[in-house]
Structures are given as C-alpha cells and as structure tokens.
C-alpha cells in the first residue's frame, strides 16, 4: 500500500538550498567589494581635495596679508599674484607641525618643492622628510611667479 507522506529532505531540496546559498554568497561578495571600492573612492577624493587645498597656499595671501611668525592665522605665500620670497622662507621658521596645522592637513604629510625653468630644485620644505616609505602620494604641479620668473610649484601630500 502506497502512502503519500511529505518528504522534506529530498535531492530537490538540497539542490535548491545550494543554489540559494550560492546566490546569497554572490550578492554578499558583490556588496562587500562595492562598499570597499566606494570607501577607497571617498578616501581618494578627500586626499585630492586636501592636496588641492595645500597647493592653494602658493596663490593666496593668507591672513593677515603680510603675516609674520607671531600673527599668522591663515597660511598664504603670495602677494600681488606672485610668490612672496619672505613668506616662503618663513615656512621653515614656522615649523612643519605649525604649517600642517594651518593647512588643516590632519593625518596627511606635506612636501613643497619649487623648480626653476631648467627644472633645478630651488626650494624644498621640509628639508628632512623621507618619501621612500610613503604610500598613496598625491601630487599637484602648478606654475607660479617667483622673483619675476616663472617657476613650477609641486605640492605632495601622502598618508
């Protein structure tokens, strides 16, 4: 005599369960990698904005307009559309910690370089910072005027 009993554990059930687990795993893996990529993109965009902001210091006057070591509130290295050599040379007297604080760099490191027309390095701040262990280096090169001559200003920011 044949009876119709429901069978829960059949081959069809195990195949359906395997397909369901595979699909859920694929969706979770895709979600994870997408969220990691989004986080990396957010961090990269923030670093690029920080680099651009640090680079802007070459082209703004700061506050007060003719600041000195005691009264600087906003770092700016230009006057009348040109790099002010006195302000530029005061960077080392301000110190690395104060400069990065004024530029609001947070955990990022900073390096300023100026090259003349023949691509010779004529200014470097800070002098003793090593880039060999740097990762995720962001660089902006711009053209400015120093002592009535065009120069290439390079701003490097890294974490």
Is the residue at 8 inside a domain? no
DSSP for residue 61: -
Model confidence pLDDT, tens digit, residues 120-145: 999 999 988 788 888 889 999 999 99
Name the residue range of residue 126's domain. Answer: 41-55+94-158
Is the residue at 124 inside a domain? yes
Distances in whole angstroms, Cα of residue 34 to Cα of each of 24, 28, 31, 40: 15, 10, 5, 10
Is the residue at 128 inside a domain? yes
Q: What SS3 state is found at 91?
A: helix
The pLDDT > 70 percentage for the chain reads: 95
Is the residue at 113 inside a domain? yes
Distances in whole angstroms, Cα of residue 25 to Cα of each of 15, 34, 39, 141: 15, 14, 21, 45
Is the residue at 45 inside a domain? yes
The CATH number assigned to the domain holding 138 equals 3.30.1140
Is the residue at 110 inside a domain? yes
Q: What's the domain count of the chain?
A: 1
Look up the pTM and report it: 0.77
């Amino acid at each position: 005599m044949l009876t119709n009993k429901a069978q829960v554990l059949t081959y069809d059930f195990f195949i359906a369960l395997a397909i369901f687990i595979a699909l859920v795993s694929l969706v979770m893996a895709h979600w994870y990698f997408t969220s990691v990529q989004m986080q990396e993109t957010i961090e990269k965009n923030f670093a690029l904005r920080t680099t651009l902001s640090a680079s802007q210091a070459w082209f703004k006057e700061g506050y007060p307009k003719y600041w000195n070591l005691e009264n600087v509130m906003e770092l700016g290295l230009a006057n009348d559309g040109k790099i002010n050599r006195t302000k530029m040379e005061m960077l080392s007297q301000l110190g690395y910690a104060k400069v990065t604080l004024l530029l609001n760099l947070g955990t990022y490191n900073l390096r300023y370089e100026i090259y003349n027309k023949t691509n010779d390095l004529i200014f470097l701040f800070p002098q003793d910072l090593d880039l060999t262990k740097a990762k995720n280096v962001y660089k902006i090169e711009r053209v400015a005027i120093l002592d009535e001559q065009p120069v290439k200003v390079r701003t490097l920011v890294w974490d």
